[in-house]
Amino acid sequence: MKSRFKTLLLGLAAAACASLGWSPAVRAESPPGMKLYVFSSGWLDIDKSALQTGASPGKFMIPVGFFVIHHPKGNVMFDTGNNDRVITDPTYWGPNAALLDKPESRSPDVSTIKQLEKIGMKPSDINYVVVGHMHLDHAGNISRFPTATLVYQRDEIINALWPKPGYAGAYVSAICCRCAPRLACRCRAGRRRSS
């Protein structure tokens, strides 16, 4: 009984201190020199209904973002943006090329390499590439980072190379054998090898 009463009093005291602003600030400090950079490798002119169920008709421009974390233990890139081939050849996106119909989506300035140069980096400075998923606008440039450790979800590789019926989408094609041989996958030109 005494321990319950003591716990209740401590809880009330902590709540009272917090409500008066007497609680100590708790936060994690970033390592010295750590920075987050936010980039865009162009824009997609996309129908609202592609991203939101029940959206009103119409299109809007959405940035194709990617991020670089400069960290003392190694530089991390999250997503790699559109493949730079779309700058000169929008048909690289196949039937989805219409999403790139605005000139600002294909300016040479949106190249991933140009974006890295703005912060004094080059592809070999990136230690880790993390991709949220293998769509063309997220993993389009993974081949530009051959020395980086690629972090990906196994299911995303399967969806990109061997999609189940009805699940094929705008995935990076033939990713492992031609673009990123270090994945040590069991495929050739997007098909499973026979064992």
Neighbouring C-beta atoms of residue 184, cutoff 10 Å: 7
Q: Which domain holds residue 104?
A: 34-192
Contact 185, 177 (CB under 8 A): yes
Instruction: Check if the beta carbon of residue 81 is closer than 8 Å to that of residue 137.
Output: yes
Q: Does any domain span residue 1?
A: no
Kindly report, residue by residue over 153-173, the tens digit of the pLDDT.
888 888 887 888 877 777 776
Q: Do the domain assignments include residue 147?
A: yes
In a domain, 129, yes or no: yes
Give the 3-state secondary structure of the chain: CHHHHHHHHHHHHHHHHHHCCCCCCCCCCCCCCCEEEEEEEEEEEEEHHHCCCCCCCCEEEEEEEEEEEECCCCEEEECCECCHHHHCCHHHHHHHHHHHCCHHHCCHHHCHHHHHHCCCCCHHHEEEEECCCCEHHHHCCHHHCCCCEEECCHHHHHHHHCCCCCCCCCECCCHHHHHCHHHCCCEECCEECCC
Is 26 contained in some domain?
A: no
Judged by phi (left if over 0) then psi (alpha if -120 to 50, else beta), residue 53 lies in: beta
CATH code (residue 80): 3.60.15.10
Whether residue 185 is contained in a domain is answered as yes
Which has more pLDDT, 135 or 6? 135
pTM of structure: 0.71
pLDDT tens string 78-101 = 999 888 888 888 777 777 766 776
CA torsion, ordered 168, 179, 41, 129, to nearest 10 deg: 100
118-150 per-position pLDDT tens digit: 999 999 999 999 998 888 888 889 889 999 999
By DSSP bridging, strand 75-78 and strand 59-70 are: antiparallel
Length of the chain: 195
Domain count, the chain: 1
For residues 170 and 137, the answer to whether their CB atoms sit within 8 Å is yes
Name the amino acid, one letter, at 183: L
- Whether residue 27 is contained in a domain is answered as no
Q: What is the pLDDT of residue 70?
A: 96
pLDDT of residue 114: 93
